[in-house]
A and B are shown apart, each in its own frame.
Chain A
């Protein structure tokens, strides 16, 4: 890199411009949401107001809070997300470890299926999955019409427990890579000391795999929190934030169907609702961004 001082200075300016520009494009929707959410309805008709409201209003948040039944919906969403991501974490750690340490006839084929599960779009199996859970007969063991599991947590619990939920394949891939990168000497020492395989896994390997567990858990949490596809498919009618937002949105999607003022106004409420919904994840990211950003280095994906 033999550049003159001038060239270097010029490059620094260009680089600064690029980074700020890209950063702005990324932050733009968020800034817009915040700006709209804080606007008083009167500001909408004030031509001098573009970004910064003339009067900061809490009213949008109050309305959105009530329409979403926020405190209850927040607790519900948090509970479901925590439950599912914990299950997914446990399942993918165990399965990944199994692929990393032991081979059996056909294990390569099964691992190929893991990779396949990453690339099958969930929409492919949406209809059959829905019907299977709607008339769930436990593979023919239950009597004819079966049990209706739609609306219960079972479909998503079962899928995350078996490592077949959204992006579980990716997590299995990552945990397998990680465990393969761990030296076997720790396990051998444990076996020599008389520990069984299960005990070794839980007492020796898992504590050493905390960095990867943290990554899987955080990503799983964020992706379940952001999920609408499975939530809308299996948990219709539940008091969850995504479902609540969907309800508000479908009611007021066509503002011209309502009175003009209400129609416009609901967009402000929408923005406040979206902010309320993404706030927990933003907070999580603000505090734990290091784990997200350093995640790839720890996955063992890179040599």
Chain B
């Protein structure tokens, strides 16, 4: 205590801030930054386990070449994953915004509806999702086959109407994604809901008095006021989709590390993936950020 009294208030405050955040600085260095740098090194090396640890031999870009040109699955899984995830993001955002608007209205059983809509966040145990993927019985009895939605009949009739096959396939792919999209919207719905609740009702009343229609007050009041949280949701959705447990590419990366071409190729693959994620984050963040309306 005696020494700290000699320090100026400013240094004292800086020191306190440093002390409180020190655990993170240490942890970030040890468990994120250093492994991150190591992953660059690993991706450029051949890693062999020896009794006393592991040895690295520099191989240049061989691992990247292996991932791209030699690995039989990587290119296909990579393209599929990126396309699926990127296509999912806008749909999740639109759906969660729509659902939040629904849940913000007054109707009997609203609390129960909110409880159910948010349930996927709690229920998304990785092992359960994994097992459901592998569970051929669940798959066989999935929504489309259970007879609840006679998809195969629908599909045949659409094809017999001579609609282009690409179009039909797209529609059915979208329908297949519906459960996934609904189940990965929990947090986003909550964020939008909180944003909607924070808008003062007097704004709508004033607009109504001035003769604005519901459509106009939606675009002129609701949308600008929730746009800052749109950005938050965009970032959250991108990160969440790209690290989702049902992500095939992450599965492949893990498989390659432990049971495939080895650690080097696996880290090279994850570097390809990370670059794409960062690019998508930057591009969407830039465009969404430009559209955000900040109150001054």
B17 contacts A107, CB within 8 Å?
yes
Given pairs A101-B16, A158-B31, 4 additional interface contacts (CB within 8 A): A91-B24, A126-B254, A222-B121, A228-B130
Q: Which 5 A/B pairs are nearest by Cβ-Cβ distance?
A: A162-B27, A98-B20, A102-B17, A104-B14, A128-B35
Kindly report which residue of chain A lies nearest to residue B242, judged by CB atoms.
Answer: A121
Tell whether B190 is near chain A: CB-to-CB under 8 Å.
yes
Which chain A positions have C-beta within 8 A of B19? 98
Q: Which of A23, A94, A97, A105 contacts B113 (CB 8 A)?
A: A23
Given contacts A19-B102, A144-B53, A278-B128, contact A249 B31 (CB under 8 A): no
B24 contacts A164, CB within 8 Å?
yes
Which chain A positions have C-beta within 8 A of B26? 162
B193 contacts A278, CB within 8 Å?
no
A164 contacts B242, CB within 8 Å?
no
A146 contacts B182, CB within 8 Å?
no
A125 contacts B146, CB within 8 Å?
no
Q: What total count of A-B pairs have CB within 8 Å?
A: 267
CB<8 Å pairs between A and B, sample of 11: A25-B183, A102-B20, A117-B28, A124-B39, A126-B254, A127-B39, A128-B36, A161-B27, A285-B115, A292-B118, A295-B190
What is the minimal beta-carbon distance from A252 to any residue of chain B, in angstroms?
9
Q: Which of A29, A225, A242, A267 has the most chain B CB atoms inside 10 A of its CB?
A: A29
B121 contacts A125, CB within 8 Å?
no
Tell whether B69 is near chain A: CB-to-CB under 8 Å.
no
Tell whether B25 is near chain A: CB-to-CB under 8 Å.
yes
A249 contacts B17, CB within 8 Å?
no
Kindly report which residue of chain A lies nearest to residue B178, judged by CB atoms.
Answer: A25
Given contacts A23-B116, A105-B14, contact A282 B24 (CB under 8 A): no
Considering only CB atoms and an 8 Å cut-off, how many residues of chain A contact the other chain? 93
Kindly report which residue of chain B lies nearest to residue A298, judged by CB atoms.
Answer: B194
Question: For the complex, what is the distance from the CA of A281 to the CA of B263, rounded to whole Å?
Answer: 35
Question: For the complex, what is the distance from the CA of A232 to the CA of B76, rounded to whole Å?
Answer: 27
0/1 interface trace, chain A 98-140, chain B, CB 8 Å (1 if under)? 1101111101001001100111111111111101100100010
Given contacts A128-B42, A159-B31, A228-B130, contact A301 B194 (CB under 8 A): yes
Kindly report which residue of chain A lies nearest to residue B120, judged by CB atoms.
Answer: A26
B21 contacts A26, CB within 8 Å?
no
Q: Which of A103, A228, A285, A293 contacts B13 (CB 8 A)?
A: A103
A281 contacts B23, CB within 8 Å?
no
Chain B, 226-260, CB within 8 A of any chain A CB = 228-229, 232, 235, 239, 242-243, 245, 250, 253-254, 257
Chain A, 198-236, CB within 8 A of any chain B CB = 222, 225-229
- Stretch from B134-142, B151-159, B162-170 forming part of the interface with A: B134-142
Which chain A positions have C-beta within 8 A of B182? 22, 25-26
B197 contacts A297, CB within 8 Å?
yes
Given contacts A26-B116, A278-B123, A296-B193, contact A249 B134 (CB under 8 A): yes
B135 contacts A28, CB within 8 Å?
no
Question: For the complex, what is the distance from the CA of A97 to the CA of B125, rounded to whole Å?
Answer: 30
Is chain A's binding surface mostly helix, strand, loop or mixed? helix
Which chain A positions have C-beta within 8 A of B114? 293
Kindly report which residue of chain B lies nearest to residue A228, judged by CB atoms.
Answer: B126
Given contacts A32-B138, A98-B19, contact A127 B263 (CB under 8 A): yes
Which chain B positions have C-beta within 8 A of A246? 127, 130
What is the minimal beta-carbon distance from B202 to any residue of chain A, in angstroms?
15
Which chain A positions have C-beta within 8 A of B228? 303
B17 contacts A162, CB within 8 Å?
no
Q: Which of A19, A32, A95, A228 contacts B20 (CB 8 A)?
A: A95
Kindly report which residue of chain A lies nearest to residue B217, judged by CB atoms.
Answer: A1
What is the minimal beta-carbon distance from A147 to any residue of chain B, in angstroms?
12
Given contacts A94-B20, A104-B14, A228-B130, contact A36 B137 (CB under 8 A): yes
Which chain B positions have C-beta within 8 A of A242? 125-127
Q: Which of B24, B229, B250, B263 contacts A163 (CB 8 A)?
A: B24
Which chain B positions have C-beta within 8 A of A139? 30
What is the minimal beta-carbon distance from A107 to any residue of chain B, in angstroms?
6
B250 contacts A285, CB within 8 Å?
no
Tell whether A152 is near chain B: CB-to-CB under 8 Å.
no
Question: For the complex, what is the distance from the CA of A30 to the CA of B125, rounded to whole Å?
Answer: 12
Tell whether B174 is near chain A: CB-to-CB under 8 Å.
no
B13 contacts A296, CB within 8 Å?
no
Tell whether A255 is near chain B: CB-to-CB under 8 Å.
yes
Tell whether A258 is near chain B: CB-to-CB under 8 Å.
no
B113 contacts A19, CB within 8 Å?
yes
